Amino acid sequence: MTDQTDAQVTVPADGVELAGELVVPAGATGLVVFAHGSGSSRLSPRNTFVAEVLRARGLGTLLFDLLTESEDRTYETRFDIDRLTTRLLAATEWLESREETGSLALGYFGASTGAAAALRAAARLGDDVSAVVARGGRVDLAEEQAPAVTAPTLFVVGGADTEVLALNRAVLADLTCTKELAVVEGAGHLFEGHGELETVADLAGEWFERHLS
């Protein structure tokens, strides 16, 4: 690959078409698919920032909407983890079928409810997924599937996000893969404090570089 791929794409999934942005730097060593949380989208400024940091490390990224605009207006649909997982699996299959991405090692970055979809998809795909990072993840919504995850998995949680931190610690104990919990001291659920999101991005970048190369 000599040139960076940077494209607005449409991902076919579950009978609908989902808008996305696929960026693959020249010589990419892996590809990270983002699964955003409830009420968010491919335009999430937090995920967009993390994606920029990953691309600077030579990793490709796919940011895409897991729900259509009409679906996202329904509160219950935002928490339909089965649907979100189906969409993430479809996006993965789509990437594997493309010439510029099919040979790249694959990772998932899931935020909030998107982290549950990432874990469920990783459990389903086994060794086809090489790494998972969850940011402030509602990983309890994938608790039953956690023991089946084989991909090295990193949970990143804010120290002040006490309820989600407790949930992450509980699910971490169920994981049988290579695993770590990183606590960003003083951070809340959205990592809005000075330097907090940068810390998340650096932790994710190091994890993906280690396991997708």
Q: Which CATH superfamily is domain 5-212 in?
A: Alpha/Beta hydrolase fold, catalytic domain (3.40.50.1820)
Interhelix angle 45-56/196-212, nearest 10 degrees: 50
pLDDT digits (tens, 9 = 90+) for 104-141: 999 999 999 999 999 999 999 999 999 999 999 999 99
pLDDT at 64 over 70: yes
Say how many CA atoms lie within 13 Å of 148 toward its Cβ: 14
Question: CA torsion 188→189→190→193, rounded to 10°?
Answer: 10
As separate numbers, helices (DSSP H) first and strands (DSSP E) second, the chain gives 7, 8
Q: Is the pLDDT of residue 203 over 90?
A: yes
Whether the predicted pLDDT of 73 surpasses 80? no
CB of 91 closer than 8 Å to CB of 18: yes
pTM for this predicted structure:
0.94
Give, in order, the Cα–Cα distances in Å from 102 to each of 11, 23, 99.
Answer: 15, 14, 6
Name the residue with higher pLDDT: 182 or 44: 182
Rounded to the nearest 5°, which phi and psi values hold at 179?
Answer: -150, 150
